[in-house]
């Protein structure tokens, strides 16, 4: 009995030491590092591998990072290395990486009806990028349920659709790949386990529209999904009364729509006389819509990327760099960052001191964070491109796409991933990891847990700008 008490006291002391000396961000990042190591060890087990498959340490570590960050880049053919059990393992890891370690663990705590401590709530808040503690557990419960139901419902739909459409002639194969496509789309993972991505579905408009919808669900942001659910229930219970969406949801949806519509039009105009020649008008627009959506985080493709013009690939890179909404399965600098910077520029041109939108004022601290995230992310990606042009023997556009894809945790590539040098793979792996945890949290890793107020400030002085 004394021995168990000593172990309990040691564990409690260890938790107290960690919570005292490390910030929530540092703890969360350490969780993702541990999850990456666990993923690597699982990938090395023969149980999940095809007989005789050989993969080096760096390549398997790259795969582990890509899986936990739900990026989709790989240095080897997944279908020739992992068996069906390995693909199921990937689907499980997609959930952990896409939804977040704390969401998955909290969901199990809720199911087991155990108490969630204050420290756990703080970690959840950090992992899900939420500004406040109140309602965090409710957000987890509702979001986890919504995401799970979407995967089950559309996994069933795809299974039936694949079988009766003749894509797969047996029910086991149809169910296996039906649920894989559903989970992959919702978590925005983009891993190609067949060798052809979803190219065989290039003219299947129903399938593409459903896939786009699932990508939207995963990338719009968990708080938006919860508010939309509350809006539906509110309309049923309290008709006639207005429902107020949060400013975050309004900006996230507006930015998502603008980027989707703008990206669709740009891709259509750039490729209508190039890759889209010979396509019908409907196919041109559906393909443009698909790439405007998938480049934002999913990484699925219905064409060889090498067939697109360089200008279009630059547009793809820009969309990948932006990524999805905060508190979603996606990476990049996030849509609200771009939205706030755009609103700031608009306010500046109108000579307004504050940013006012939807009857609310955006806090100055959020504006500063957006500018810092944008600038540092741009600088980091620029130096990554500069570094890879020195270490790799590949065209510049291929390197730009690779860097943007890694940082945006997208997974699209011009086929150079497997040919990268060891240092090139490590650089891309680092970008994937930073893209998953976010640039802001990456910076705060090195910030002390408590900031010190120096107690004074210097006088201001004007300088010449521009």
pLDDT confidence of residue 454: 58
In the predicted model, residues of the chain with pLDDT beneath 70 are: 1-23, 101-102, 105, 107, 110, 112, 116-135, 235-241, 446-456, 466
Helix 84-99 vs helix 24-43: crossing angle, to nearest 10: 180
What pLDDT score does 11 carry?
Answer: 46
The span from the CA of 362 to the CA of 364, in Å, is: 6
Q: How far is CA 58 from CA 387, 399, 418, 425, in A?
A: 19, 19, 11, 8
Q: What is the pLDDT of residue 459?
A: 84
**What is the predicted pLDDT for the residue at 192?**
81
Q: What is the pLDDT of residue 189?
A: 84
CB 459 within 8 A of CB 426: no
Q: Determine the pLDDT at residue 320.
A: 93
How far is the CA of 391 from the CAs of 106, 307, 311, in angstroms? 43, 25, 24
d(CA 142, CA 222): 9
Q: In this predicted structure, what is the pLDDT of residue 384?
A: 95
pLDDT of residue 31: 83
Phi-psi region of 421 (alpha: psi -120 to 50; beta: other; left: phi over 0): beta
């Amino acid at each position: 009995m004394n021995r168990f008490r000593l172990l309990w006291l040691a564990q409690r002391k260890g938790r107290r030491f960690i919570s005292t000396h490390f910030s929530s961000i540092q703890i969360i990042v350490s969780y993702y590092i541990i999850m990456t190591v666990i993923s690597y060890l699982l990938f090395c087990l023969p149980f999940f591998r095809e007989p005789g498959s050989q993969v080096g340490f760096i390549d398997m570590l790259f795969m582990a990072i890509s899986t936990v960050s739900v990026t989709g880049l790989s240095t080897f053919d997944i279908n020739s290395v992992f068996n069906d059990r390995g693909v199921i393992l990937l689907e499980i890891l997609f959930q952990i990486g896409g939804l977040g370690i704390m969401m998955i663990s909290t969901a199990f705590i809720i199911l087991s009806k155990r108490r969630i401590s204050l420290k756990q709530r703080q970690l959840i808040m950090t992992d899900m990028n939420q500004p406040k503690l109140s309602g965090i557990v409710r957000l987890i419960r509702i979001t986890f349920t919504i995401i799970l139901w979407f995967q089950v419902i559309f996994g069933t739909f795809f299974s039936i659709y694949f079988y009766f459409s003749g894509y797969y002639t047996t029910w086991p194969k149809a169910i296996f790949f039906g649920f894989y496509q559903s989970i992959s789309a919702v978590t925005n993972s983009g891993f190609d386990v067949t060798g052809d991505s979803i190219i065989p579905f290039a003219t299947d408009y129903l399938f593409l529209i459903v896939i786009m919808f699932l990508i939207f669900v995963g990338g719009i942001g968990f708080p938006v999904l919860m508010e939309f659910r509350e809006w539906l229930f509110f309309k049923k219970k309290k008709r006639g009364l207005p429902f107020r969406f949060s400013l975050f949801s309004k900006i996230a949806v507006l930015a998502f729509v603008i980027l989707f519509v703008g990206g669709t039009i740009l891709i259509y105009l750039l490729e209508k006389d190039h890759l889209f020649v010979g396509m019908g008008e409907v196919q041109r627009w559906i393909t443009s819509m698909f790439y405007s959506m998938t480049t934002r985080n999913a990484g699925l493709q219905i064409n060889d990327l090498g067939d697109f013009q360089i200008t279009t690939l630059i547009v793809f890179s820009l969309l990948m760099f932006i990524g999805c909404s905060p508190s979603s399965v996606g990476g990049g600098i996030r849509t609200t960052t771009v939205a706030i910077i755009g609103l700031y520029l608009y306010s500046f041109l109108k000579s307004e001191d504050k940013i006012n939108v939807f009857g609310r004022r955006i806090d100055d601290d959020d504006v500063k964070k957006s500018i810092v995230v944008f600038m540092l992310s741009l600088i980091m990606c620029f130096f990554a491109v500069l570094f890879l042009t020195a270490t790799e023997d590949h065209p510049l556009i291929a390197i730009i796409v690779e860097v943007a894809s890694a940082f945006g945790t997208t997974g699209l590539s011009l086929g150079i991933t497997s040919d990268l040098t060891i240092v090139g793979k490590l650089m891309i792996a680092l970008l994937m990891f930073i893209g998953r945890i976010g640039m802001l949290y990456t910076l705060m890793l090195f910030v002390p847990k408590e900031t010190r107020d120096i107690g004074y400030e210097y006088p201001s002085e004007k300088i010449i700008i521009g």
